[in-house]
């Protein structure tokens, strides 16, 4: 009898093995399905409003500070460079006997060298007295003879901005010397008097004499010259004079007279302001995508360039003697 035939014999069948060490194997962890990426929603209204306000404030502050810096500091540097170039040009013309003697000269061209020893002042006088002309230096009123010629010559100069060449002429006294070099030679003037708007005019000029009148702005307070209250005149005379050619224009536009403003620059100024507004909107949009530092690194040079051009336009809208 075999074990198979005996019902009392119990046999235990071993399950088939799945390989060596199968009972020690760990089941691989189940990977979780990645969470779906939520699409970016629209920017928060509070953040957008904050970005608009901060960008606009920064742009206005940048342009305003640059205007003040350019008018009072950098404008003087630009005027000094212009004077250096004008001096070289005028000196070459005098040496070659090609310096202009009137009666009609291109605006902006050098026409005389003005020296006031008492003030330590040396300036090249340009033709024209509009605000744009006086950015380079003192300007000759076009309907008067050139300095040193027989008759009365009028020269306007700024008192506070772009080098402020005539800031100290109020300190001149009767008897002080003013030396002028023109294409015809050199003339020495003697200061006769200082006067303000409303004061009596000087006596008619004697035949064969020359009169030079310096004109600038005058005001009270620290910023009085920027917002002047009246016009200052310095009258000087010379006993000899060069002949004056005929053909002077009978009058000049209001923008070239003392305290005149140049309204012709308004279209260009409007374009500059529109570009500044477009740049501001561009910065606001860019801040939604890029970092604040990167945006301003790119935008600041553009803002400064536009502020420079805008300031030149604003200067032409201010009185030409400021």
User: Contact, 228 vs 218, CB < 8 A?
Assistant: yes
Q: What is the pTM of this model?
A: 0.80
pLDDT at residue 22, rounded to an integer? 47
The average pLDDT across 202-231 equals 82
How confident is the model at residue 48, as a pLDDT? 74
Write down the residue that tokens 């910023």 correspond to: 223
Pairwise pLDDT comparison (228 vs 50), residue with the higher score: 50
Q: Quick count: other Cβ atoms within 10 Å of Cβ 102? A: 22
Q: Which helix (H) or strand (E) holds 151?
A: strand 151-156
Q: Between these two residues, 290 and 152, which has the higher pLDDT value?
A: 152
Three-state secondary-structure class, residue 139: strand
Domain 68-93+104-263 sits in CATH at 2.40.260.10
Q: Which residues, 6 or more positions from 198, have their beta carbon under 8 angstroms from its beta carbon?
A: none
């Amino acid at each position: 009898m075999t074990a198979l035939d005996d019902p009392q014999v119990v046999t235990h069948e071993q399950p088939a093995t799945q390989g060596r060490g199968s009972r020690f194997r760990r089941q691989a962890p189940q990977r979780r399905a990645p969470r779906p990426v939520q699409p970016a929603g629209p920017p928060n209204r509070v953040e957008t409003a904050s970005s608009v306000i901060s960008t606009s404030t920064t742009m206005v502050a940048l342009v305003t500070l640059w205007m003040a810096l350019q008018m009072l500091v950098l404008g003087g540097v630009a005027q000094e460079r212009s004077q250096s170039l004008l001096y070289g040009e005028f000196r070459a013309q005098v040496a070659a006997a090609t310096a202009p003697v009137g009666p009609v000269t291109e605006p902006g061209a050098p026409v005389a060298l003005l020296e006031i020893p008492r003030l330590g002042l040396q300036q090249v006088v340009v033709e024209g007295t509009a605000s744009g002309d006086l950015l380079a230096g003192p300007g000759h009123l076009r309907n008067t003879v050139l300095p040193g010629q027989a008759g009365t010559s009028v020269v306007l100069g700024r008192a506070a901005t772009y080098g402020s060449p005539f800031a100290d002429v109020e300190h001149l006294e009767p008897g002080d010397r003013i030396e002028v070099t023109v294409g015809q030679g050199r003339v020495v003037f003697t200061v006769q008097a200082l006067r303000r708007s409303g004061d009596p005019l000087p006596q008619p000029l004697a035949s064969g004499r020359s009169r030079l009148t310096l004109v600038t702005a005058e005001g009270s307070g620290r910023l009085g010259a920027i917002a002047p209250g009246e016009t200052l005149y310095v009258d000087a005379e010379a006993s000899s004079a060069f002949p004056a050619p005929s053909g002077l224009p009978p009058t000049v536009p209001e923008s070239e007279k003392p305290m005149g403003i140049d309204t012709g620059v308004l279209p260009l100024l409007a374009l500059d302001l529109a570009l500044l507004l477009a740049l501001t909107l561009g910065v606001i949009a860019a801040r939604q995508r890029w970092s604040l530092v990167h945006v301003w690194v790119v935008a600041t040079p553009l803002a400064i360039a536009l502020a420079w051009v805008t300031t030149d336009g604003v200067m032409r809208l201010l009185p030409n003697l400021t």
